[in-house]
Structure 1
Amino acid sequence: MIEARHLTKRHGASVAVDDVSFTVAPGTVTGFLGPNGAGKSTIMRMIVGLARPTSGTVTIDGRRYAGSPAPLQQVGALLDAGAVHPGRTARNHLRTIARTHGIPDRRVDEVISLTGLESVARRRAGAFSLGMGQRLGIATALLGDPDTLVLDEPVNGLDPEGVIWVRQLCRHLASEGRAVLLSSHLMSEMAQTADHLIVLGRGRVIADASVADVLARAGGGTVAVRTDAVDRLADFVRPMGATVTYLAADRIEISGLDADEIALAASRIGVTLFELTPQRASLEAAFLGLTEDSVEYRSGSAGRA
């Protein structure tokens, strides 16, 4: 379990992390989200002792990571997949790290197999593609069979099969009771992988809730309805507080009422429904809504240069 309490990190007059507190619980995949410059990478570095907080604390299972007698067995971290000597083979890289903790070579072979690196295990890391580099970084994080994983953008450079593999791996690790902190800019993937979300904006926590709660708070929930009596249904539900948008001759979108209320209304006036589909806000839309005031770098509108 990771516990951050009032974490603050200043660089001179600039505040990168501002009084941040959160918990990453065992048995869950916690998504770590935020615009560029929100403080995610700084916090991940503070978790594993690569950056020192100006104030506040962060502990793993009640102790500071730097004070762990066997840090690889406590936390597996992927913060920079490129942090590998380019002249070493993947297997020798893993063996070198394993020997710092007395980890046997058979575990090196296990993580090579687990991450799909068998065919390139004797190839120098400097010749790896970005995706293979990511797999080697994940293998390194798993080397000590840790109870806590900290993974910063692990799907960068992976093909669709690799992205799905990372999703399944994170879900499996959480199912074993491990705590997984995962950052990614792929909102659709995060929606399928994470149980809980911590969203940062300008160094502060702006959301700390389950994925379902974040989506529910985003609002925008509408219900798509198809019927051969759209006008009758629309006229009936508007006085109930509904807003109706016409999509086609036989299809409307209703907001302000949930699917059960619409179904009940239709039955009262004898209208047959051919479709009744709740439309929830996407995680991408929810994220953009949460962080719209926290984006440090904005793109210009498309147009002629």
Structure 2
Amino acid sequence: MIVAEHLTKRFGQKQAVSDVSFTVAPGKVTGFLGPNGAGKSTTMRMIVGLDRPTSGSVSIDGRSYSSLRSPLTEVGVLLDAKAVHTGRSAVNHLRSMAATHGIRRSRVDEVIEITGLTSVARKRAGGFSLGMGQRLGIAAALLGDPHTLILDEPVNGLDPEGVMWVRRFVRHAASEGRAVLLSSHLMSEMALTADHLIILGRGRVLADAPLADIVEQWTTKSVRVRSPRAREIAEAAASDTVSVTSRGNGYLDINGATAAEIGELAAARSLPLHELTPTTGTLEDAYLKLTGDQVEYKTKEVR
């Protein structure tokens, strides 16, 4: 379990993280989201002692990372896949890490196989593609078979098979009772992977809740309707609390009424329905609404 309590970090006049508190529970994949500059990487670095908090504290199973006697066997970390001696082969890089903790060589072979690096294990890491470098970073995080995993953008550069593998792996790790903290900018992938979300904006916690609750709270439900008499349905359904948007070709999007209510309204007026589909917002919709005014580096809209 990771517990952060009132974490604050300043770099000169810049406050990167401000009074951040959260818990990453075992048995769940906790997604860590936020725009660029939101403080995610700084927070992750404070968890593993690479940055010292200006104030506040963070612990892993009740202890600071610096006090862990065997860090690799307790916490697996991927923060920068490029943090490897480019002249070493993948296997030698992992063996050198294993030697610092007395981890058996056979475990190196195991993580190489798990991460799909067998065919390039004896090649120099400096020649790896971005995706293969990510796989090596994940292999290093798994080396000590830790009960806590902290993975920053682990699917960056991976092909579809690799992305699916990471998804299945972190879900399996959580099912074994491990605590998993996972950051990514891929909303569609996070929606398939995470159980719980922590969302930062400008160094503060904007949301800390189960994924389903965040989507429920920050998106609007609607009903997609298709009918050859769509105009009549729109006129009958519209009110002060119900909005109707015509999409053409007999399609309507209706907000503020349930599918059952619309179905009953149509039946009472003998109006035919060819489609009546409740729709919900996506994680991307919820994320953009939550962080809309928290983006530090905004791009200019292209017209």
TM range (shorter): over 0.9
**After alignment, is 102-111 or 273-282 more displaced?**
273-282
User: How much has 1:47 moved relative to structure 2?
Assistant: 0.6
CA distance in 2, matches of 1:25, 1:263: 43
SS of the equivalent of 1:38 reads coil
The letter for the 2-side match of 1:14 is: K
CA distance in 1, matches of 2:108, 2:55: 38
**After alignment, is 222-231 or 167-176 more displaced?**
222-231
Partner of residue 278, structure 1: 278
User: How much has 1:273 moved relative to structure 2?
Assistant: 2.6
SS of the equivalent of 1:88 reads coil
Identical positions, percent:
63
1:50 equivalenced with 2:50 (yes/no) = yes
Check whether the contact 2:149–2:181 (CA below 8 A) recurs between aligned residues: yes
Partner of residue 295, structure 2: 295
Partner of residue 11, structure 2: 11
Cα deviation code 1:131-160 (max 9, x no counterpart): 000000000001111111000011111111
Partner of residue 21, structure 1: 21
Partner of residue 171, structure 1: 171
Partner of residue 180, structure 2: 180
Q: Equivalent residues in 2 for 1:1-305 (5 A)?
A: 1-239=1-239, 241-302=241-302
SS of the equivalent of 2:238 reads helix
CA distance in 1, matches of 2:260, 2:66: 54
The count of residues paired between Structure 1 and Structure 2 equals 303
The letter for the 2-side match of 1:231 is: R
SS of the equivalent of 2:101 reads coil
The letter for the 2-side match of 1:238 is: A
SS of the equivalent of 1:273 reads coil
SS of the equivalent of 1:145 reads coil
SS of the equivalent of 2:161 reads helix
User: How much has 1:277 moved relative to structure 2?
Assistant: 1.7
Cα deviation code 1:101-145 (max 9, x no counterpart): 111111111110100000000001111111000000000001111
CA distance in 2, matches of 1:138, 1:257: 47
SS of the equivalent of 1:158 reads coil
CA distance in 1, matches of 2:198, 2:264: 37
CA distance in 2, matches of 1:12, 1:149: 30
TM-score, normalisation: structure 2: 0.96
SS of the equivalent of 1:169 reads helix
CA distance in 1, matches of 2:177, 2:185: 25
Cα deviation code 1:41-83 (max 9, x no counterpart): 0000011111110111101111111101111111100000000
**After alignment, is 245-254 or 47-56 more displaced?**
245-254
| Inter-CA distance 302–241: structure 2 relative to 1 (3 Å threshold) | closer
Coordinate RMSD, CA, aligned: 1.4
The letter for the 2-side match of 1:31 is: G
The letter for the 2-side match of 1:95 is: R
SS of the equivalent of 2:84 reads coil
Cα deviation code 1:194-247 (max 9, x no counterpart): 111111011000111111111112223211111233233223322473211112
SS of the equivalent of 2:116 reads coil
User: How much has 1:174 moved relative to structure 2?
Assistant: 0.9
Segments ≥4 residues shifted beyond 4 Å: none
CA distance in 1, matches of 2:170, 2:117: 18
